[in-house]
Chain A
Amino acid sequence: MQIVVCIKQVPDTTEVKIDPVKNTLIRDGVPSIVNPFDEYAVEAAVRIKEQFGAKVTVLSMGPPQAESALRKCLAMGADEAVLVSDRAVAGADTLATSYTLAKAIEKIGKPDIIFCGKMAIDGDTAQVGPGIAEHLGLPQATYVQKIREVSTHRLLVERVSDSGYELVSIPLPCVLTVDKAIGEPRYPSVKGSINASRAKINVWTAADIDAPPEKTGLNGSCTQVMRIFTPKIEKHNEMLCADSDEALCDLLLAKLQEAKIV
C-alpha cells in the first residue's frame, strides 16, 4: 500500500507573544512546528504501515526550512519525504496550494490513501484536504476520528459530525483528513531521529511536478489579500479590586446583573 501524508510547517502559536506596546506579534524566535493535526495524520499513516505494511511518503510545500518539519515526520516512521519549494509556488491561497500538492502527489505515484490533518492552526481553513481530493478526482472523508477497517479496496472510517459520527465506507484511493481523536502521535525514537537527520529530502520545483506558473503561487490564486490591519479593541477593560474574595465576588455579580446576564 502507498500512503502520502501532506503536512505543513506552522509557527507554534502557543509560543507567540504579543508586543504589549504596539499590540503586534513578536515573531523573533517563534519556533516552527509540524502543524499539530498533521502529526495525527502521520501517526494514522504509520499505524497502517505497521499493521498492514505500507510505504509512507510525507509531502510538504514551503520554504527550504520546512525540511525540518519533514524530518520530524521521518523520525516518526515515514519512509520518504518530498518538499515542493519554489518561489513560483509562494503566496498561494488554498486553491493554488491544493493544486500544487495534487501535482506533487501525481509525481509521487498512485497512492492508495492521502492523509491530511483536518486543518492547519495558522490558516485554520480546512480547505486544502478537500481541494486535493477534488483536483485528483478522489473521494474524501473529512474529520475522521477512527479507521475501523482497512482492506485492499475500501476503508471503513468514522467521520465526526455535529452530533456524533457517521460510519463511512470509502473506496480506495481516497483522501482522509483526520481529527485529534484518531490517536496520539508518537514521540520519535532516538534511532528514528538519528536516521531522519541523515535522510535525504527530495526537493522539487514547480517545473519538476509539471505545474505551470499560471496555476501556482500568487498567480494561481483566485483570492487576493486587499489589506491587513490590527483590529481595534474597543473593550471596557476593568480590574476589579476589593478587600476580600467575598467582596470581589459581589462586585463581579453586580456587574453581571447590570449587564442582565445573571
Chain B
Amino acid sequence: MSVKIIAENCTGCGICLEKCPCGAIEIVDNIAKLKDNCTSCGACARACPTKAIEVTRKPKKSAVKLEDYKGVWVFIEQHQGKIHTVALELLSEGRKLADALQVELAGVLLGDDVEHLAKDCFAYGADKVYLIEGPVFKHYRTDSYTNAIVEVINKYKPEILLFGATNNGRDFASRIAVRINTGLTADCTELSIDPETKLLQQTRPAFGGNVMATILCPRHRPQMATVRPRVMKLCEPDYSRTGEIIRINSSVKEEDIAAKILEIVESASKTVNLQDADIIVSGGRGIGGPQHYHLIMELAEALGGVAGASRAAVDAGWVPQYRQVGQTGKTVAPKLYIACGISGAIQHLAGMQGSEIIVAINTDPEAPIFKVANYGIVGDLHKIVPLLTKKVKELKAQKANNKVAASV
C-alpha cells in the first residue's frame, strides 16, 4: 500500500493539505510532497481535483486461511462472580454483527465457579459460552487469561473477538493480538459488517476525537477490537433464551504465572464511578479555586449524580485526579453532563462528547464548549450553579410532597 504524487498533474492547490488527517503533506515548489508520517489512508487522493495522487493497495496473501475462522466472540469479564456491564453491552452489539454475518455469537467466560453466569450471556444474545474454569482463573491475571484464551482461539477460530476497554481488557487484548499476530483496534465507537467483503468495520475517534477513522483488519484473524464501557447500548435481556455451554480443559497451571497478585485492595471511598453515572456535573478552571468546588458537588448531589472535573482543575491541584473527565481522565457518556466553567479543550471534549444532553455554563460566549452543548448559558457559575441546586432541591421536594399527597 503506498501513496504517490504525480508531479505533472499537481497544481499545488493545497486541498490535500486540508484533507490530510495526519498533517503529512507539505507543498514544496508548488507541488505536494509527502512527509514521513503519512499513513497511506488515501484521504488526499479522494480529495484531489486533478487526480495527482495515486493510492495503490497491493493485495497481500494471508498467513492464515481466513475462511477457517467463523463466529463472533465476546470476552465476558467478571469480577468476583459478577459480569462487568461492558461485556453485556458487547453481547448486545455482537448479536447484531453475528446476525449480519449469519454466524453464532459466543461468550468466553473465565473464572472459578462461574458457570451460573452463562445464563446471563444467553439472555443478552449468546448462542454459546466457552467456559474456562479453575482456581487459577479466580482473579484476572495477564498470564493465565492470555494463555487460556489463546488456546481456545487457536482451537475454535473465531472471526471476530471483542473486549471491553477496561484496565484488564486492555491489559491482555494487546498481548493476545501480538501472540497470534493479528490486528487490534482500541476504543471503537461503532462496529458494523461490510455487506460485500464481510469485514468488520471498526470506527473510532482519532486525533483527539475531532475526526473518526474506520479501520479494517483484512488479512488476519480474528479481527479484534476493544470498546469502552457505555458506548454500546444494552439490549433487553431475554431469560427464556438458552444456549450451549462448551467446557474447556485449559492447560494453564499456577506455576506458569510469573506475576502474582498478593493482595486485592478495594478502596470504594477514594474513587467515584464516573463511568457508570447517569448525571455528571463537572467544574473547570472557571470555578476559580478549590474552595468553590463544593458548588459543583452540591449540584451533582441534588441531581443524584457525580461530580467531575476538567484537566485544568485537576492540574491546578483543586480537584483529585480520579474525578477527571477527558482524554487523559475518564471517558463518560451520561444522560446529562453539565460543564461549569469549562472552556472545552479538545482533550476534555473527547471524553464527554458522547453524553446525551450537554449543558454548558460559562462566562465566555466564545468558549468552544458551547459548540457541543445542547443548552448553553452565558453567565457566572458562582451565581447560577447554587441557584440551580436550590431549584432542583425544591423541585424534588415538591415532587416528593405530591407523591405523599397522592398516596394519602
Q: A residues bordering B, Cβ < 8 Å? A: 13-14, 16, 18, 22-25, 27, 36-37, 63, 87, 90-91, 93-95, 98-99, 121-131, 133-135, 139-143, 156, 158-171, 174, 180-181, 218, 221-231, 233, 235-240, 245-246, 248-250, 252-253, 255-257, 259, 261-262
Contact = CB atoms under 8 A, between A and B. Distances in A.
A118 to B, nearest CB: 9
Interface string B189-228: 0000000000001000111101111111111100000000
Contact of B167 (A90, A158, A161): A161
B231 to A, nearest CB: 13
Contact of A91 (B38, B212, B311, B370): B38
A98 B321 CA distance: 29
Given A245-B384, A261-B357, 19 more contacts: A13-B208, A14-B347, A24-B18, A98-B178, A125-B170, A127-B184, A129-B174, A130-B174, A162-B168, A164-B271, A167-B265, A168-B259, A168-B261, A224-B217, A225-B41, A235-B372, A240-B377, A245-B383, A249-B391
Contact of B172 (A91, A93, A130, A143): A130
Contact of A134 (B37, B174, B261, B383): B174
A246 to B, nearest CB: 7
B335 to A, nearest CB: 6
Contacts of B132: none
Given A13-B327, A162-B79, A164-B267, A255 B387 contact: no
A124 to B, nearest CB: 6
B263 interface: yes
A128 to B, nearest CB: 8
Which of A22, A171, A225 has the most B CB atoms < 10 Å from its CB? A225
B259 A170 contact: yes
B368 interface: yes
A230 to B, nearest CB: 6
Given A171-B259, A223-B184, A255 B212 contact: no
Interface in B133-168: 139, 142-143, 166-168
B374 A95 contact: no
Interface string B347-358: 100100000010
19 contacts: A126-B170, A127-B173, A127-B184, A130-B178, A141-B259, A164-B265, A164-B267, A167-B261, A224-B215, A227-B213, A227-B214, A228-B206, A233-B372, A237-B374, A240-B375, A240-B376, A248-B379, A259-B336, A259-B357
Given A95-B177, A170-B259, A252 B375 contact: yes
A255 to B, nearest CB: 6
Given A164-B264, A231-B211, A63 B36 contact: yes
Nearest to B199: A226
Given A13-B208, A163-B266, A253-B388, A168 B260 contact: yes
Given A127-B173, A134-B175, A222 B181 contact: yes
Which of the four size classes fits the interface of chain B? 35 or more
Nearest to B270: A164
B384 A248 contact: yes
B347 A123 contact: no
B303 A223 contact: no
A158 to B, nearest CB: 8
Nearest to A215: B181
Nearest to B348: A14
A18 B1 CA distance: 31
